[in-house]
Structure 1
């Protein structure tokens, strides 16, 4: 059975204090391959220094290298990609080395992290405000509405019936609106039905206007 199925992978969380642009690379083959190692790490960003650490304890036939990146973002990316990377037959181990930071390095690191967090918060706030803001109504809409001719407004008011206007006034004209006889007959039928409806409504109103009789007879 493979080894990775026996042991669960270890998970470690790094804070801004643990991260650094200084890296220590262990388990590098002792073959004088510093240039090759520098070339490998330079693919992830600008490397300012890369030198072996002779005083550092290490296993037999291996070396330890000290690498300094120009920016902490490049060092973070290189560690994530090259940790446990197979280099010349050995699986190298990459770790942060914040103990080599100066006061200015630590200050620059913390300020950069604060700017990153502030930029993320501002972007989220701007997205939320843009989503909640209502779409403004263009001014052309009001100008177009106010520029309607008064004649058209008067015609529209005459077409719309009021609450007390009878239905018969809408079709009181005897003019033939259509050239065909069948359509004119249809209009005539509709008028007759409307007249019947109007007359029935008038009769109902007249019947309801009568006062009910008061029965004063004595009940036994």
Structure 2
């Protein structure tokens, strides 16, 4: 599988002014509607058969439609990558925020959106949902 640029983890920003810096260092990355997705890749899962443990961790944030191991994806040594599909994009946003950089059985998880796995229908629904939320905000 081809390595995609937006799956790489960014370095932490250490040049922010003190008044802009939060309690912990974070990377600077912005997302658009098209780059967010209900499809997530979870990297850094130790290769010790943790499928059910990861599924129970991910299901804390909402309903999972599908979850499977991505066998042909480049990962660090002794780790695996999982593809998780949530029912709603709001759930995926929360799960990404809560799971990214989290310790899991000795590994540090890296979570990223994978909009390239969306169907045309999923993309259409995502854009319509965003359109509706903007119209509600204007009213």
* TM-score (normalizing by structure 2): 0.81
* TM-score (normalizing by structure 1): 0.52
Q: Distance in 1 between matches of 2:73 and 2:112?
A: 14
Deviations 1:38-80 (A, max 9, x none): 1111111100111101100111110000000010110011001
Hey, what does 2:27 align to over in structure 1? 10
Hey, what does 1:24 align to over in structure 2? 41
Alignment map for 1:41-190 (pairs within 5 Å): 41-122=58-139
Q: CA deviation at 1:82?
A: 0.8
Q: CA deviation at 1:89?
A: 1.2
- Deviating above 3 A after TM superposition, structure 1's stretches of 4 or more consecutive aligned residues are none
Unmatched tracts of structure 2, length 5 or more: 1-11, 15-25
Q: Distance in 2 between matches of 1:55 and 1:121?
A: 45
The alignment yields a C-alpha RMSD, in angstroms, of 1.2
Q: CA deviation at 1:85?
A: 0.7
Name which structure has the greater RCO, CA cutoff 8 Å, separation 6+: 2
Q: Distance in 1 between matches of 2:122 and 2:45?
A: 27
Q: CA deviation at 1:7?
A: 5.6
Aligned residues: 117
Q: Give the structure with the higher percent strand.
A: 2
Deviations 1:114-154 (A, max 9, x none): 111111111xxxxxxxxxxxxxxxxxxxxxxxxxxxxxxxx
Q: Distance in 1 between matches of 2:27 and 2:41?
A: 19
Deviations 1:174-217 (A, max 9, x none): xxxxxxxxxxxxxxxxxxxxxxxxxxxxxxxxxxxxxxxxxxxx
